[in-house]
Amino acid sequence: MIYQWLVVNVYCEKVCMKSVIDGVKSAGAPLYKAFRERVASEAPELPLALEFSVAVYRFGHSMVRASYDHNRNFGRPDGGDGDRRASFRELFAFTGGNGNGEEITGTSFDRLPSNWPVEWERFVHDDPHHGDHRARNIDTKLAPPLSDMFKESDDAGELGRILRNLAERNLRRSHRLNLPTGQGAVDAINAFDKAEEPESGWVEASVHKVKYTCDGPDVPEPGDQTDGIAPVPGSALGEGAAGDALEQGGMLDATPLWFYVLREAEVTEGDTLGPLGSRIVAEQLVGLVIGDTQSFWHEGSGDGGWSPSEMPVGGAAITDMASVMRASGLIA
């Protein structure tokens, strides 16, 4: 239950707009509830929406860095200033599937060498001065190693190139599974909300103030309110090299959902997903805990469900990642 509580109350609030996650929790994840009733009303397992698993939840790919201050041996010795980082290739080379460093050292180890375990003290505290201790902001840029994922394929031809390019794989997969476009998802969810509004009051609860960090005739004025989810302006989608590709492919008004959500986050003021991305992630994750009758949502002694204060570990409530690491003995 601690894990579930952290996902809903810590993780979701880090990656989703607060107004959206609060509204989804208050309304009881109505979109996920309707989805479950439609596709798996009698199934014991809780379903995952393809829009979530194949497109929107892959937003984390844009948060991966090309290198990290991993530990004192493969990073800055004291965690302070300096140039040494653990590269993406090194991090993946020291895995069980790659002989724990055989590619780099020429020797295959039975277990991770003692100079490679991560030092979590470098990652659990939010340090704005050292970016390589943190995830990147959500945007439309991927770290260079993700365009050539060396462990994916040895094929030198077109198939190998596709398999090694994460962006292309994401876009091809969503196309093959016939996912809706970003604009289509916005229209469908707004229509659902309006149909549900008399009963749930969700539309009123989901009014967002949206500010875009771009210019153009279709960009709302700062502070404008939109009833439901605000679509990303066409002027924002059309910017830059990716915008040129969308325009040439006739996709400015029918944008692949994965890219749309990344661009939405990139041009919406803040460091979270935008309105559509936040709604789909919040509905899925909150919907899962509501749908699980044994989750923290349905337990506990208070009116708001179970909380970590009811199950302290070592005398302390587990309410964030630092306390998880501390209780696990990974940090002091």
CA 249, 142, 210, 196 torsion: positive or negative?
positive
- The yes-or-no verdict on residue 23 having pLDDT over 50 is yes
- The secondary structure element, H or E, covering residue 86 is strand 86-87
Question: Can you tell me the distance from the alpha carbon of 169 to that of 163, in angstroms, rounded to the nearest whole number?
Answer: 6
CA 164, 47, 17, 312 torsion: positive or negative?
negative
Question: Can you tell me the distance from the alpha carbon of 179 to that of 93, in angstroms, rounded to the nearest whole number?
Answer: 34
320-329 per-position pLDDT tens digit: 999 999 999 9
Question: Can you tell me the distance from the alpha carbon of 42 to that of 56, in angstroms, rounded to the nearest whole number?
Answer: 26
Q: Residue type at 254? A: A
Question: Is residue 193 within 8 Å of 185, Cβ to Cβ?
Answer: no
- The yes-or-no verdict on residue 188 having pLDDT over 90 is yes
- The secondary structure element, H or E, covering residue 68 is strand 67-68
How many C-alpha atoms does 236 have within 13 Å on its Cβ side? 26
Q: Is 265 exposed, middle or buried (0-12, 13-18, 19+ CB in 10 A)?
A: buried
Q: Which residue has the higher pLDDT, 161 or 48?
A: 48
Give the pLDDT score at 251: 94
Q: Determine the average pLDDT of the residues in 34-40.
A: 94
Q: What is the pTM of this model?
A: 0.89
Question: Is residue 31 within 8 Å of 283, Cβ to Cβ?
Answer: yes
Question: Can you tell me the distance from the alpha carbon of 212 to that of 220, in angstroms, rounded to the nearest whole number?
Answer: 8
pLDDT-derived band at 215 (thresholds 50, 70, 90) equals: low
Give the pLDDT score at 205: 45
**Coil, helix or strand at residue 324:** helix
- The yes-or-no verdict on residue 135 having pLDDT over 70 is yes
Give the pLDDT score at 219: 56
Give the pLDDT score at 278: 94
pLDDT-derived band at 213 (thresholds 50, 70, 90) equals: low
Which residues fall within 8 angstroms of residue 328, CB to CB, at 6 or more apart?
A: none
Give the pLDDT score at 212: 63
- Average pLDDT along the chain: 86
Q: Determine the average pLDDT of the residues in 273-299.
A: 94
CA distances 86 to 99, 121, 145, Å, are: 18, 16, 13
Question: Is residue 294 within 8 Å of 282, Cβ to Cβ?
Answer: no
59-104 per-position pLDDT tens digit: 999 999 999 999 988 888 876 666 788 888 888 888 877 778 887 8
Question: Can you tell me the distance from the alpha carbon of 58 to that of 316, in angstroms, rounded to the nearest whole number?
Answer: 33
Give the pLDDT score at 108: 84
Domain boundaries, the chain: 2-63+177-297, 65-134, 300-327
208-209 and 225-226 beta bridge pairing? antiparallel
Give the pLDDT score at 211: 60
Residue recorded with tokens 């040129």: 244
- How many residues does this entry show for the chain? 332
Q: Determine the average pLDDT of the residues in 216-236.
A: 67
Give the pLDDT score at 266: 92
Which residues fall within 8 angstroms of residue 265, CB to CB, at 6 or more apart?
A: 59, 137, 138, 139, 272, 273, 274, 277
Q: Residue 115 CA to chain centroid, in angstroms? A: 30
- The yes-or-no verdict on residue 207 having pLDDT over 60 is no
Give the pLDDT score at 226: 58
CB atoms within 10 A of CB 156: 8
> What percent of the chain has a predicted confidence (pLDDT) above 70?
88
